Structure 1
Amino acid sequence: MRSIALLDGGLGQEIYRRARSVSSPLWSVAVMQEQPEVVKGVHEDFIRAGAKTLTLNTYAATPTRLRKQGLHEQIGAIHQRAFQVLEQAIDATGLSVDIAGCLPPLAASYQGEPARSFDDLKSEYDTLVRLQAGADVLLIETMTNIAEATAACAAAKQLGKPFGVSFRLEVDGALKSGESLAEAVAAVADYSPDAVMLNCCDLEILTAAMPQLVVMYPRVGGYANAFESVEAVAEGGLVDSLQARPDVSPGAYSAQVQQWLQAGACVVGGCCEITPDHIRDLAGAMADQYRLVRFSDLTS
């Protein structure tokens, strides 16, 4: 029976949805500052739904983003709180899962190539890796350009723990930077990530690209979003303005993921607007065909 690493779903968006009274550029990190019990509840729900790898709630807690909000001096405390809340959720469920550190885009999601040097980018990712060194694995997510992706891989590799890197594709099948998926995979392959994935793409884009990705790298995967459009955020707006697609039900999502698995994917989960209900349906749909494992189990 084939082993499949099952990640959680759209952690940040699920937290934000449950705490509507909070509106902030720091997204779910702002919720954690004011309502940590909401974050703990979302983690618990994803674990109970069947997720085997849970991501820290630190997507928006990069030095660049915190500095912009005047909170850079709190970066250590914010990451510590993210660990505490997730560990509390794990203890409450009594289940064994991976804690995944999160290495996101440094300034904002859905942007092109930043006007920064490799060393400058890597230095910031080094800080994030240091703050999340207690994680079991690292997930580099929503990469839209080779510069950030390779800098994050270089920082992650130094920790010596399993890590994966995930790209977001546009409608034309390329990265926001204009670089091709093939170029991106070739660039990160030098760092030997344990998996190369696609995430935060439209469901149909990810499904179309998965057969191509499978032939580019030995271990691949994906986790799509269910937004109608991300253009408002790409143009600098808050996630408050985004809408979920009504057609991406748990069953519809599971059906698409089954196509990724049939193509050869071995890491799946969900991104924004993919809820614990989606992950529960997905875990149930896979249970008879695959062994559901933690991300670190794929590399052990």
Structure 2
Amino acid sequence: MKYRNALPQLNGTQMITDGGLETTLIFHEGIDLPLFAAFTALDTDKGVATMDAYMERHARIALAKQRGFLMDTPTWRASARWAAELGVSHDKLRAVHREAVCSLRALRERLEQPETSPFVINGVIGPQDDGYAPARLLTEEQAEAYHSVQIGWFDEFGADMVSAITMTYSEEAIGIARAAKAKAMPLAIAFTVETDGNLPSGETLKDAIARVDAATDAAPAYYMINCAHPDHFVHVLHGAWTTRIRGIRANASRLSHEELDAAETLDDGDPVELGVLYAGLDVLLPNLTVVGGCCGTDHRHIAAICEALGTSDHANRSQNRIEGKKHAS
């Protein structure tokens, strides 16, 4: 099925994403990723087979847990700036996007169970600069022009939506939202935060979301938090603004971004503990429908998160929260 005009996660369907694709490929599969660009793995038969197996593993978790699967393209670093540094031509980059979407469409056709486990094709875009500490900040207009190329490809090749992952400041997110709006493409904006719960730019998460919504007439379908441990942001999740957050893709590690950048070994944390922390986030975020992982996470963490959240639908959990609050008062 195609879901561009009716994303199931907006209607309460519980969805999973994959884990940390890049860290899994590097540390568990032994695949070199120059500039952390996962799409380069598609240049070899081993890389293609590994990527296919990785996505199917997560798809089967979704099926087993009767959750939808938000299927990411491996294109976080498949934009012009990074392609130039990798020596990848514009035409090849376009072909990467076509093949990525086609691969996920084939997986969906083979395994999807629409009634219990809808599979949504999600075109992933990343920041123009570093995802932790950008050296160059784009204006809103520059960001719109830069990211409109990838968004146009995802529109052309039939992705259901796009997600901007590890956004570090609001201006770039605003430009992306405008580019997606121009294509009528559903968009999720995922901000990353530091250990204090603020964006690398110093903006609060609340302010960043408010700025994007104000500048784009609330164009993003929803927001997510990614590439940070729950301990780094749980303390800021209070207030009506948190209803705009529908997704969490946390790190398994409690290390700061600076420490992660310098690490030579993988800190994959404790999958069971991470699942428990997600259950706590589920109580705080009334519209949480998308859960997955980021750096250091893999299928073990996603399975543990599902186990901790249970297989009951979100409406039932929301009712339990209401009843719990009544009882507490």
**TM-score scaled by length of structure 1:** 0.85
Residue 296 (structure 1) aligns with = none
State whether structure 2 residue 241 is matched by structure 1 residue 216: yes
Give CA deviations for 1:190-217 in whole Å, capped at 9, x if unaligned.
33222122111123113333x23x5214
The residue type equivalent to 1:70 in the other structure is G
Where does 1:239-258 land on structure 2 (aligned, <5 Å)? Answer: 241-246=264-269, 248-249=270-271, 251-258=272-279
Query: Structure 1: where are the runs of 5+ without partners?
Result: 293-300
Change in Cα spacing, 1:199 to 1:23, as seen in structure 2 (3 Å) is: closer
Q: Provide, for residues 142-196 of structure 1, a one-character-per-residue CA deviation record: whole Å limited to 9, x for no partner.
A: 1111111111111122222322111111122211112222220111113322212
Q: Which residue of 2 aligns with 1:297?
A: none
In the alignment, is residue 230 of structure 1 matched against residue 257 of structure 2?
yes
1:77-103: CA deviation from partner (whole Å, max 9, x where unpaired): 111221233233334434440011112
Alignment of 1:43-192 (within 5 A): 43-50=55-62, 52-73=69-90, 74-95=92-113, 96-112=118-134, 114-133=136-155, 134-190=158-214, 191=216, 192=218
Residues 194/115 of structure 1: CA separation in 2 closer, same or farther (3 Å cut): closer
Match of 2:232 among 205, 218, 233: 205
Q: How many Å separate the matches in 2 of 1:222 and 1:26? A: 21
Q: CA separation in 2, counterparts of 1:184 and 1:152? A: 14
Quote the offset at 1:22 in angstroms.
2.0
Q: What is the distance in 2 between the residues matched to 1:142 and 1:19? A: 23
3-state SS of 2:84 partner: helix
State how far apart, in whole Å, the 2-side matches of 1:277 and 1:3 are: 22
Give the TM-score, by structure 2 length: 0.78
Give the CA deviation at 1:2.
Answer: 5.7
- Find the residue that maps to 1:172 and give its secondary structure: coil
Q: Residue 197 of structure 1 aligns to a residue in which SS?
A: strand
Q: Give the aligned residue type for 1:76.
A: R
Describe the SS at the equivalent of 1:132.
helix
Residue 171 of structure 1 aligns to a residue whose secondary structure is coil
Deviation at 1:58, TM superposition (A): 0.4
Contact kept? 1:225, 1:273, Cα under 8 Å: yes
- 1:54 corresponds to which letter in structure 2? M
Q: Which has the larger radius of gyration?
A: 2
Tell me: CA distance 1:3–1:219, structure 2 relative to 1, closer, same or farther (3 Å): farther
Higher RCO (CA-CA < 8 Å; seq separation 6+): 1
Q: Provide closer, same or farther for how the CA distance between residues 169 and 143 of structure 1 changes in structure 2, counting only shifts above 3 A.
A: same
Contact 2:278 2:308 in 1 (8 A): no
Match of 1:15 in 2: 25
8 A contact 1:3–1:290 mirrored in 2 = yes
Give, in whole Å, the separation in 1 of the partners of 2:52 and 2:82: 23
- Structure-2 change in CA distance of 1:109 and 1:242 (3 Å): farther
Q: How many residues align?
A: 284
Amino acid in the other structure paired with 1:160: A
